[in-house]
Amino acid sequence: MARTAVQVPFYATAFRKDDLAAALEQIGAVAPRYGAKGWVLYQSHDDLYKFLFVVEFERKDDWDRYWYGEEFSSMRAACSSWYQVPLLYAWTDVVGAGSLLAEPLEV
């Protein structure tokens, strides 16, 4: 089965980048319960309010259960003033990957 990932760009509102980052890290940790193979949250160096949340799923149905599930829906509602809307995610194929990391990245 092809590897697929969902990319969700978030742009934090003024003074909320740290709060949004923490909320996205918490919701990312929930993703494996819905069948995610992994997730990563990127924060831009050029624009500290710009985030890219990437979650790897094998099936779109699993992503839909996660995105519309209680946890993610509640997070979006509770944090809706922390980021600009609309949120438009992109379903993508992973066509290449590599890593030198033997264990999860620690920040």
pTM over 0.85, yes/no: yes
All domains in the chain, ordered by first residue: 4-93 (3.30.70.100)
What is the per-residue pLDDT across 51-87, written as a single tens digit (0 to 9) for each? Answer: 999 999 999 999 999 999 999 999 999 999 999 999 9
Structure tokens at 77: 């509602």
Structure tokens at 82: 């922390």
Task: Please report the pLDDT score of residue 3 as a whole number.
Answer: 82
Angle, CA of 45, 50 and 51, to the nearest 5°: 95
Task: Please report the pLDDT score of residue 76 as a whole number.
Answer: 96
Rounded distance between C-alpha atoms, residue 103 and residue 10, angstroms: 26
Nearest to 53 by CA among 5, 2, 105, 1: 5
Which residues are bridge partners to 56 per DSSP?
A: 5, 38
Q: Mean of the pLDDT values across residues 92-107? A: 75
Q: Which helix (H) or strand (E) holds 52?
A: strand 50-57
Structure tokens at 65: 């259960």
